[in-house]
Amino acid sequence: MTMDMAQIDLSLLKEAFETLADVICDNWDSDEEPSPILLKKAVIQLLDILNQNNKGEYIKPEDSLIPDEIDELGDYGLTLLQEMSAFAADLGISEVSDQMEDLTFPLAVWLVRQNSEIKTIEPIVNAFARQANHINDASHLKQLFNYVSEIMESIDPKISQDLEKTNPNRPWRIMIINRAIIATRSHDKDLMKNSFDTLIEYLPEDAPRFFEEGVEQMHSMNYPEHVKELMQHYYLLHGSSHTLH
């Protein structure tokens, strides 16, 4: 999918999925179940249902999906895309695996715009992290930041409460930190303040190290002065060495 997701078209998402799924199915040579062939059919059917519901004029009001059904179907769709990505990885076609997982990102944005709650975030976090690694343009970084922010606001509270902090690789932690990195790379002070405050609120144990490393990068890389000053400000407030354990 392209970066511009202002109007996400599920039909285009379906086309992208089918192209990738065909590659996976063509490389599949096993009688084991579940197979990617069955998963492909399930994803296509699911996207068709969501897309038909999205075009409400084609169905009777009484046949429309209720919010809980969209939540359930959306989560199922994200899980199926993750499983298809895993099939591709097992087959050794890593590029297809990444591209399949990347489809979870536009699907998640579409779901949150239907007021759906996101319960599966690992593939989404992987997808937007990959996008961020390939983007240098400030305007595109700002777009990506806004999409991530949309998703964050609709994540299941059981995830955002972050009660299990023992795993440093948990997707919620990575999402918040990467969001702050994207904001910094955009050079936008408002986005930086927003993401830094979120980092301090949700990951107070990670904030000091983040700002320390941020200041170190400011000295080694050619960041604009206003970015350096803001990072230094947060470092002085939250990142001094005596706060680290």
- The per-residue pLDDT for range 99-144, each reduced to its tens digit, is 999 999 999 999 999 999 999 999 999 999 999 999 999 999 999 9
What is the CA 182 to chain-centroid distance, rounded? 13
Residue 230: partners with Cβ closer than 8 Å, 6 or more residues away: 189, 192, 193
Has residue 171 got a pLDDT over 50? yes
Among candidate residues 72, 163, 165, the one with its CA nearest the CA of residue 111: 72
The torsion region of residue 162 among left (phi > 0), alpha (psi -120 to 50) and beta comes to left
pLDDT for 244: 42
**Virtual torsion, Cα 164, 144, 181, 165, nearest 10 deg:** 0
Has residue 5 got a pLDDT over 90? no
The residue whose two tokens read 């399949």 is 100
Would you say the C-alpha torsion 188, 189, 195, 196 has a positive or negative sign? positive
Among candidate residues 109, 155, 115, 79, the one with its CA nearest the CA of residue 5: 109
Give the pLDDT band (50/70/90) at residue 52.
confident
Lowest mean pLDDT among 18-27, 158-167, 210-219: 158-167
Tokens of 40: 């492909």
pLDDT for 55: 54
CA dist 122 and 166 (Å) reads 16
Tokens of 143: 């777009």
Position 91, amino acid: L
- pLDDT > 70: what percent of the chain? 90
pLDDT for 241: 55
Has residue 61 got a pLDDT over 80? no
